[in-house]
Amino acid sequence: MPFGECTVTLQDMAYQFGLPIDGFPVSGCLSDFEQLMEDGKPVWQWFEELFGELPPVDCIDEFTVSYGWFQNRFRVMPTDATEPTVQVYARGYIMMLLSMMLFGDKSGARVHLRWLPYVADLDELGKYSWGSATLCWLYRCLCRVANRNVKNLAGTLALLQSWIFWRFPTFRPRGFDVILWPLASR
């Protein structure tokens, strides 16, 4: 076939998204979510320690927070921000990226707290295999959408679109041949 591979691979994750494909596994059982928290600490207490405040009750739904709250809260960092403030804003931004871009669900409006253990220590964040986890999530979402009762697709849709444009030149928009890194940024 002239188009090459017909599935998204780990190489695509690294090449098109610039995500690491080697490192510690990204995992965690959501049924025992509370036990994953640092020393059995209640999740909302940990959230408040990491972000300096709790979202309003109307923005909370079990273990998720409204994307709108995150976006409004972390939209603009103060110009005189201290190092701890920069870390809080970085955590907020990374939580939004993980929940909306890499591991998006069909709601498209919730930031899940499952990412707290990963953003707690920003120095360790780059040591995880985010590319592998994102690819697994995409495969899982593609399997789910194959069910005839499912009407919406979730997952890393920017990657899927970039992969389609890269592997099937007929579908490429104008200007796609200009190389930018990562490829999905085009």
Provide the number of structural domains found in the chain: 1
Q: 59: helix, coil or strand?
A: helix
The residues with which 61 forms a beta bridge, in sequence order, are 64
Inside any domain, residue 37: yes
Domain hosting residue 31, numbered range? 10-185
CA 164 to chain centre: 20
- Token look-up 């103060």 returns 78
Question: Looking at the domain assignment, is residue 160 inside a domain?
Answer: yes
Amino acid at position 88, single letter? V
pLDDT tens column, 105-119? 777 788 988 888 899
Residue 24's pLDDT band (boundaries 50, 70, 90)? very high
pTM, two decimal places: 0.81
Where do we find the tokens 């509370």? Answer: 34
Q: What is the pLDDT of residue 54?
A: 93
Q: At what angle do helices 130-145 and 157-167 cross, to 10 degrees?
A: 90
pLDDT at position 51? 93
> What band does 58 get if pLDDT is binned at 50, 70 and 90?
very high
Kindly provide the b/e burial profile for residues 27-58, where b requires at least 16 CB atoms within 10 angstroms of the residue's own CB.
Answer: eeeeeebeebbeeeeebeebbeebbeeebeee
Most distant CA pair in the chain, distance = 56
C-alpha span between 124 and 137 (Å, rounded): 21
